Amino acid sequence: MTVTDRFLNYVSFDTQSDENSGQTPSTAKQMLLAQALKAECEAMGLTEISLDDNAYLMATLPATTDEPLPVIGFIAHLDTSPDTSGANVKPRIISNYDGKDILLNAENKIMLSPAVFPELLNHIGEDLIVTDGTTLLGADDKAGIAEIMTAVKYLLDHPEIKHGKVRIAFNPDEEIGMGAAKFDVKQFGCDWAYTIDGGEVGELEYENFNAASAKVKITGLNVHPGYAKNKMLNANLIAMQFAAMLPPQERPEHTAGYEGFFHLTGISGTVDAAELSYIVRDHDAGAFNRRLQQLQDITDYLNTRYPNVIRLEIKQQYRNMREMVEPCKHIVERAEKAMQQADITPLVRPIRGGTDGAQLSFKGLPCPNIFAGGLNFHGRYEFIPVQSMEKATQVIINIIRK
């Protein structure tokens, strides 16, 4: 079975997670894929296979040498983004892509065009797996699962390749920030690991944002507008004031690289009550803390103008894994070498986001992130080149081999 065969099978499972569930896994359908993967691990002949009630699946590729080698892990997540439906995915392969527009859906006139997505032009001549324009594809992160499983099967079929013990794990709920929450690092038992959850070929990441979410809750005072003078406090207008006091140039649409941001993700309100939802991101810990203080300072200022009407709630989400990975930089260098052996130029750059590896690194499992090959994640324009999945599979094999 090829990596493409596996991928096309896995995307037939709807595994969309739900941030409002409060359960693990957040959706029961993630367990269906975990159970299928467990059966596949058993059929392949892997050992130490375990699947817990929270849909965390782990298995072992036994060592082929008695030498004392490190135990290396590979991790991918089961769920797809809540942003776009993952039900009834209809993938299609565009063979030998010619660089032109791709009609995804004639009925709805949905087009995947290099005029909008110029990264398509980097894959002329390759075989692209696309959606039908009504769902996401699920390359994030079913491509990672397929690549890990294909690499492991290859090594099972080639016992002459010497390697140490390898552990693999597939977890739920990465897309809602809970993938590492119930991940048992001790049970996994690895010296270090890699998440296979990046994008374009060559991506290798061991820096990510420090991250928090913030809710600004505003209590207004509603009075009949005909008699509101010196009485009404319009929560909507106070919310607008709050948003306007944050620097407009520090929004996601104006930032790149190491630049952080405030991102307004939701707004709702009436005269009586309004709420702003933000995510706050910065690679630098000091700058990140200053951003959180800025939110508090705006809250304090407006509460002097409108006494005690604003309540700020901040929730820490994850931290920059760099401080945990840099002391063992050899694991990054090993991945770089594995890419070079596959004729790939490593693209080492910071993640403008986060991965399960960030949280796992702070739980004692250093865990950089490696490309899975997909692009335009979380939406109907998602695609992945077959050749990128094959490259990722080769990189995993190269990392594992002695």
Same domain, 176 and 220: no
Same domain, 14 and 39: yes
User: Can the peptide bond before residue 141 be classed as cis, meaning omega within 30 degrees of 0?
Assistant: yes
Q: 90 - beta bridge partners?
A: none
Same domain, 61 and 72: yes
Number of domains forming the structure of the chain: 2
Cβ atoms of residues 113 and 384 within 8 Å: no
Q: Per the structure block, which two tokens stand in for 190?
A: 């690895």
Please tell me what DSSP assigns to residue 231: T
Same domain, 224 and 290: yes
Q: What is the pLDDT of residue 293?
A: 98
What CATH number should be reported for the domain holding residue 264? 3.30.70.360
Same domain, 167 and 230: no
Q: What is the pLDDT of residue 40?
A: 98
Same domain, 183 and 324: yes
Q: What is the pLDDT of residue 118?
A: 96
Residue 251 to residues 107, 218, 286, 318, 398, Cα–Cα distance (Å): 35, 22, 18, 19, 39
Query: In the listed set 318, 349, 372, which residue is the last one of a domain according to the structure?
Result: 318
What CATH number should be reported for the domain holding residue 198? 3.40.630.10
Q: What is the pLDDT of residue 355?
A: 83
Domain range holding 287?
Answer: 210-318
Same domain, 57 and 83: yes
Per-residue pLDDT of the chain (402 residues; tens, 9 = 90+): 999 999 999 999 999 999 889 999 999 999 999 999 999 999 999 999 999 999 999 999 999 999 999 999 999 999 999 989 999 999 999 999 999 999 999 999 999 999 999 999 999 999 999 999 999 999 999 999 999 999 999 999 999 999 999 999 999 999 998 999 999 999 999 999 999 999 999 999 999 999 999 999 999 999 999 999 999 999 999 999 999 999 999 999 999 999 999 999 999 999 999 999 999 999 999 999 999 999 999 999 999 999 999 999 999 888 999 999 999 999 999 999 999 999 999 999 898 887 899 999 999 999 999 999 999 999 999 999 999 999 999 999 999 998
| Residues with catalytic roles | 79, 174
| pLDDT (tens digit per residue) in 22-31 | 999 999 999 9
pTM of the model as a whole: 0.88
Q: What is the pLDDT of residue 402?
A: 84
Letter string b/e over residues 259-271, b meaning 16 or more CB atoms within 10 A of that residue's CB: bbbbbbeeeebeb
Q: What is the pLDDT of residue 354?
A: 78
Please compute, for residue 233, the number of CA atoms within 13 A of its CA located in the half-sphere on the CB side.
Answer: 18
Amino acid at 314: I
| pLDDT (tens digit per residue) in 21-66 | 999 999 999 999 999 999 999 999 999 999 999 999 999 999 999 9
Q: Per the structure block, which two tokens stand in for 91?
A: 């993938």
Same domain, 165 and 306: no
Burial of 62 (0-12, 13-18, 19+ CB in 10 A): middle
Q: What is the pLDDT of residue 19?
A: 86
Q: 279 - beta bridge partners?
A: 213, 263
Letter string b/e over residues 118-142, b meaning 16 or more CB atoms within 10 A of that residue's CB: eebeebeebbbbbbbbbbbbbbbbb
Query: In the listed set 274, 296, 318, which residue is the last one of a domain according to the structure?
Result: 318
Same domain, 111 and 248: no
Query: In the listed set 266, 301, 318, which residue is the last one of a domain according to the structure?
Result: 318
Q: Per the structure block, which two tokens stand in for 46?
A: 């892997």
Same domain, 306 and 376: no
Same domain, 307 and 366: no
Same domain, 351 and 300: no
